[in-house]
């Protein structure tokens, strides 16, 4: 399934499409040339470590850190994981694991952690456009579907996996400063929970995974910094009724409101989650915002659910969206992983999948490095890491950033592109939806070919321009097509300059 026009474009539309494709390719190729790993600094003399030191220190026991610590512990590595709070934190965070992420967890040999997760499987997206009306556009996800769950439930299961490893020690505390010798990271200064004094710990490899609000990893964000232009409300709906065709295994994505994009799905057998993406600053009173803005502009059958939820503080949370392309760093003795390394808009729920794929790479890579003090061997793995992740990271990151703009920007030209895509998805015959295709694979993370992403983006642009020429007077169509192309180029510049093949 590809986003292609149904009839031939006019000459002008064709020229506009060709120029835009060339612009897109320019950004991709320029970004490919920019990817460069700095040379390995010479460390003289090399640091020494004792037999009592850990092999690996993991700073941060969230989703990425706990996965990495558990997997290394399963291999018998001597690991210390430092996490500030080992209790259950039910703060709203990423809740979706794409089909590609479920498959990667199985590759890691850790799929059993899902046995302890209270979640639900989403098998399809239903895109509803409030401006267009009519039936939703359906996108079936690849097997085994997307797992959704409370973030705390998944992290708790992963931490239990960590605690079950005899070679892993867990310290409840906060990493305060990286220890360095001659420019090489050799350990960490940390403070145990409830203590005032700082302690030091050494290890040949320190993995920094300090998450969505990084502290120690800031110094490695040298090229790209986190950018935040919107926030996501995580609302637990009370007594919600799905519209026609809705059900336990479908995520309803509602677009076409003037200020927000809504997604509603069963989080588990008891809870229904609504994620609402809103551009701009986070309001100080979330419940008032839900009552006055979110409920007011929601579809009629959803208004009462939002009003009921707005009366409970515990049912409404928020998180800032963050976008940050991967930073390339050659500092010996340290790896940065998770949201502190690479971030993108959460609309496609691919964050945990990206993190798992990075963890999977380093688990395999480190199994081939017998001596973790061998900085050259790990540096060569870093070189290979950035090359190997180019295609799939491009596909996942660009799909997230493109979707966030396509479905949440209240711009006339973007609305035209959004409606073309939804009408194109609607036109897919029912018998074709369950067959493997690029659109389904891109949303599910199983298709990671940059060419497939380019075809989807290019098809959206060319189809939108063609539709303008098919339905509008010629001179007006020329003007409207130029506006669409201008907005398209601005979007591609924002997305491709940091994310293309990075």
Per-residue pLDDT tens digits for 251-283: 999 998 767 899 999 999 889 999 999 999 999
Mean pLDDT over each residue of the chain, to the nearest integer = 89
**Residue 7 confidence (pLDDT):** 39
Asked which of 219-223, 274-278, 419-423 is least confident by mean pLDDT, the reply is 219-223
Dihedral in degrees, nearest 10, Cα atoms 40, 44, 48, 54: -20
DSSP letters for 212-276: TS-SGGGGG--S---B--EEEEEEEESS----TT--TTEEEEEE--SSEEEEEEESSSS-EEEEE
Query: Count of residues for the chain?
Result: 502
Q: Are 322 and 225 in contact (CB under 8 A)?
A: no
Q: What is the DSSP letter of 85?
A: -
Q: How confident is the model at residue 290 (pLDDT cuts 50, 70, 90)?
A: very high
In degrees, to the nearest 5, what angle opens at C-alpha 78 toward C-alphas 341 and 87?
65
- List 265's β-bridge partners, or say none: 273
Per-residue pLDDT at 3 exceeds 90: no
Query: Backbone phi, then psi, for 253, in 5-degree steps?
Result: -110, 115
Q: How confident is the model at residue 19 (pLDDT cuts 50, 70, 90)?
A: low
Q: Where are the beta strands (DSSP E) in 348-391?
A: none
**Highest mean pLDDT (candidates 9-18, 35-44, 103-112):** 103-112
Q: Are 463 and 420 in contact (CB under 8 A)?
A: yes
Per-residue pLDDT tens digits for 142-185: 999 999 999 999 999 999 999 999 999 999 999 999 999 999 99
Q: Are 337 and 362 in contact (CB under 8 A)?
A: yes
Q: Are 22 and 481 in contact (CB under 8 A)?
A: no
Using only C-alpha atoms, the chain has a radius of gyration, in whole angstroms, of 24
Q: Minimal CA–CA distance to 56: which of 161, 218, 181, 208?
A: 208
> Helix (H, G, I), strand (E, B), or coil: what is residue 483?
helix
* Cα(458)–Cα(447) distance, integer angstroms: 17
Q: Where are the beta strands (DSSP E) in 65-106?
A: 79-83, 96-97
Q: What is the DSSP letter of 294?
A: I
Quick one: angle between helices 151-163 and 63-74, nearest 10? 30
Entry pTM: 0.91
């Amino acid at each position: 399934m590809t986003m292609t026009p149904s009839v031939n474009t006019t000459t002008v539309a064709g020229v506009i499409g060709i120029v835009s494709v060339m612009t897109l390719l320019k950004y991709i190729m320029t970004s490919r040339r920019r990817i460069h790993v700095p040379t390995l600094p010479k460390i003289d003399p090399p640091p020494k470590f004792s037999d009592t030191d850990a092999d690996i220190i993991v700073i941060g026991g969230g989703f990425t850190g706990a996965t990495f610590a558990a997997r290394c512990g399963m291999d018998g590595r001597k690991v210390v994981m430092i996490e500030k709070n080992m209790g259950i934190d039910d703060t709203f965070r990423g809740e979706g694991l794409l089909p590609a992420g479920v498959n990667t967890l199985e590759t890691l040999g850790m799929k059993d952690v899902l046995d302890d997760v209270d979640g639900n499987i989403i098998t399809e997206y239903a895109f509803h456009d409030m401006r267009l009306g009519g039936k939703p556009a359906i996108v079936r996800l690849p097997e085994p579907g997307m797992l959704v769950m409370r973030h705390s439930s998944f992290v708790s299961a992963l931490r239990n996996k960590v605690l079950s490893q005899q070679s892993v020690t867990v310290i409840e505390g906060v990493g305060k400063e990286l220890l360095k010798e001659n420019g090489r990271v050799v350990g960490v200064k940390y403070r145990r929970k409830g203590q005032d004094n700082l302690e030091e710990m050494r290890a040949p490899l320190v993995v920094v995974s300090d998450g969505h609000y990084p502290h120690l990893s800031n110094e490695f964000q040298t090229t790209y910094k986190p950018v935040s232009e919107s926030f996501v409300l995580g609302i637990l709906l009370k007594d919600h009724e799905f519209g026609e065709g809705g059900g336990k295994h479908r995520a309803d994505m509602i677009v076409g409101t003037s200020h927000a994009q809504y997604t509603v799905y069963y989080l588990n057998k008891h809870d229904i989650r609504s994620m609402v993406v809103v551009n701009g600053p986070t309001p100080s009173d979330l419940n008032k915002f839900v009552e006055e803005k979110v409920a007011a502009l929601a579809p009629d059958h959803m208004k009462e659910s939002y009003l009921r939820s707005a009366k409970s503080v515990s049912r409404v949370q928020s998180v800032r969206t963050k976008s940050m392309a991967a930073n390339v760093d050659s500092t010996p003795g340290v790896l940065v992983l998770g949201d502190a390394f690479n971030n993108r808009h959460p609309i496609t729920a691919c964050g945990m999948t990206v993190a798992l794929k990075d963890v999977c790479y380093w688990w395999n890579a480190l199994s081939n490095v017998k001596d973790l003090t061998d900085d050259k061997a790990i540096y060569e793995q870093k070189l290979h890491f950035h090359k190997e992740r180019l295609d799939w990271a491009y596909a996942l990151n660009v799909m997230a950033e493109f979707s966030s703009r396509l479905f949440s920007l209240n711009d006339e030209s973007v609305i035209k592109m959004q409606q073309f895509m939804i009408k194109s998805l609607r036109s897919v015959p029912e018998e074709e939806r369950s067959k493997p295709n690029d659109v389904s694979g891109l949303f599910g993370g199983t298709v990671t070919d940059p060419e497939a992403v380019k075809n989807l983006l290019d098809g959206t642009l060319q189809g939108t321009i063609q539709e303008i020429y098919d339905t509008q007077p010629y001179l007006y169509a020329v003007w409207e097509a130029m506006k669409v192309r201008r907005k398209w180029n601005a979007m591609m510049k924002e997305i491709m300059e940091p994310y293309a093949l990075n």
